[in-house]
Amino acid sequence: MKVVIFAGGLGTRLAEETDVRPKPMVEIGGQPILWHIMKLYAAQGFNDFVICLGYKGYVIKEYFINYFYHNSDVTIDLANNQLEVHDSKAENFKVTLVDTGLNTKTAGRLKRVQKHLNNEPFMLTYGDGLADIDLQKLLKFHNDHGKIASVTAVQPEGRFGGMEIQENGNVSAFKEKPVGDGHWINGGFFVLQPTVFEILPDNCDHIMWEELPMDQLTFKNELAAFKHHGFWRCMDALRDKVILEEMWNSGVPKWKLW
């Protein structure tokens, strides 16, 4: 089963990093967050990727084109123009890189990679979100309910602590950064049937996948939510990168399932 990854957005809320590279190439622990996402999938048996490129897509292309050599020990004989590779650390990834346009919105990006999906069910995610999700359970959930689309639902951690205050002003309870207010949000990590393309018009470059298409799936009762109660975090801003970096440096990053 192929995995489509949206990796073409501008990443404006992370401008400190994305002036020179696309957001999925921002590093956590010395590797792009895109690599972490792909490792998460590959560790669970999904290693055939279709990556939707856009903003500074050439950076992602160059990363994968040179990945083998960058992750190997090499001896270079400059006099004879010969290269000998030692101890390669290359990953078991198959990667299709597709230029889906600079300003194309997410539904358009998905439509533009349709021809690479062989009219088969596929997975879809974003190039900036990490989780300890059990992808095999997600796939089973999708197959069991028989709908066109499954979306992973998550409850993000609150940004601020919560307090319960008595009438006299005393604090009776305090919770530091509780889980959100009970609402579930789109955490990415979709499974989709190929019939999903029937709701995407031929030219949908101006349409967000998260708006009209998902609304139509909901209206047709063809969207089901897989509730993920474990770790999830989107690298939306610099503070998220800092937190993910700290988690990686701790030696026990919650999303590392490999």
pLDDT in tens, 78-122: 999 998 988 878 899 999 999 999 999 999 999 999 999 999 999
Share of the chain above pLDDT 70, in %: 91
The answer to whether residue 222 scores a pLDDT higher than 70 is yes
Share of the chain above pLDDT 90, in %: 77
Q: Are 40 and 254 in contact (CB under 8 A)?
A: no
Convert 71-99 into a string of H (helix), E (strand) and C (coil): CCEEEEECCCCEEEEECCCCCCCEEEEEE
The better pLDDT of the pair 198, 12 is held by: 198
Q: Using CA atoms, how far apart are residues 8 and 166, in angstroms rounded to an integer?
A: 49
Q: Under the phi-then-psi rule, with left for phi > 0, alpha for psi from -120 to 50, and beta for the rest, what region is 37?
A: alpha
Residue 177: what pLDDT? 56
Residue 155: what pLDDT? 92
Q: Which domains does the chain have, with CATH numbers?
A: 2-154+182-249 (3.90.550.10)
Residue 90: what pLDDT? 80
Residue 27: what pLDDT? 96
Query: Which whole number is the average pLDDT over 1-27?
Result: 90
Q: Using CA atoms, how far apart are residues 118 and 133, in angstroms rounded to an integer?
A: 26
pLDDT in tens, 33-89: 999 999 999 999 999 999 999 999 999 999 999 998 888 898 999 999 998 988 878
Please, how many CA atoms are within 13 Å of residue 183, restricted to the half-sphere of its CB?
4
Residue 12: what pLDDT? 79
What is the pTM assigned to this prediction? 0.89
Query: Which whole number is the average pLDDT over 129-135?
Result: 98
